[in-house]
Amino acid sequence: MSAVEKEVSEKVVAKKDAEVVTLTDGRKVEFVGKRKLLKDYKVDGSQVILVLDFRNGETRSIALPDSLILQFAGHGAAQKYGDETAGLDDVDDMVLAIDELDGHIQAGEWSSRKEGSGLGGTSVLLKALVEFTGKTAEVIKEFLSGKSQAEKLALRASAKLKPIIDRLEAEKVSKAAKVNTDELFAQLD
């Protein structure tokens, strides 16, 4: 089964598991799978209102106190920036993901993340391109920011970068294992 077929199949299964619930305020909302709570918010003038809809039909609209708005904003920001690193194992990739998100946030763009943004492995590509071109990391980040995952993979596999990529990956593995391979090879002599 192809990835597209699997995704469509999962969506069909999810729709079968969906339940439409009429809430106490008359709205109808859809709960999918085992989800029991839907969370949202709305802004009414200068007031932020948290909206919580429960699968049993209950709903709550909670006006957030002005005195705590900055704490709520800080918590939300920490969550959003932290979520950006979900699924990334490499710390350098995590840093790049945060930098990319922050660029969007500072430009006033809340929902700018592309599905499958392809940041995994980008830090090694960035380092390889810096080494290969002699350009700064900032110049290379800008260059990579407009590239698709397919383009980044093609760059990684190119004859020009592959030797550098392979060496950088090997260095990462060696550092992660905290094993001095030079000492191990010296034992063979």
pLDDT digit string, tens, across residues 93-109 = 888 889 888 988 998 98
In the chain, the amino acid numbered 143 is F
Q: Is 140 exposed, middle or buried (0-12, 13-18, 19+ CB in 10 A)?
A: buried
The three-state secondary structure class of 179 is coil
Using the CB atoms, write b or e for 57-76: b if 16+ within 10 Å.
eebeeeeeeeeeeeeeeeee
pLDDT at 117: 45
The rounded percent of the chain whose pLDDT value lies above 90 is 44
Q: pTM, whole model, 2 decimals?
A: 0.54
- Segment 77-85 shows an average pLDDT of 92
Is pLDDT at 72 greater than 60 in this prediction? yes
pLDDT at 115: 43
Vertex 150, ends 145 and 155: CA angle to 5°?
Answer: 75
- Segment 163-170 shows an average pLDDT of 87
CA distance 27 to 12: 24
- Segment 31-52 shows an average pLDDT of 94
The rounded percent of the chain whose pLDDT value lies above 70 is 83
Looking at beta carbons, which pairs linking 147-156 to residues 24 or more positions away fall under 8 Å? 148/118, 149/116, 149/117, 149/118, 152/118, 152/121, 152/122, 152/125, 155/125, 155/129, 156/121, 156/124, 156/125, 156/128
The three-state secondary structure class of 132 is helix
Of the pLDDT bands very low, low, confident and very high (cuts 50, 70, 90), residue 116 is: very low
pLDDT, greater one: 168 or 36: 36
pLDDT at 150: 83
- Segment 132-159 shows an average pLDDT of 87
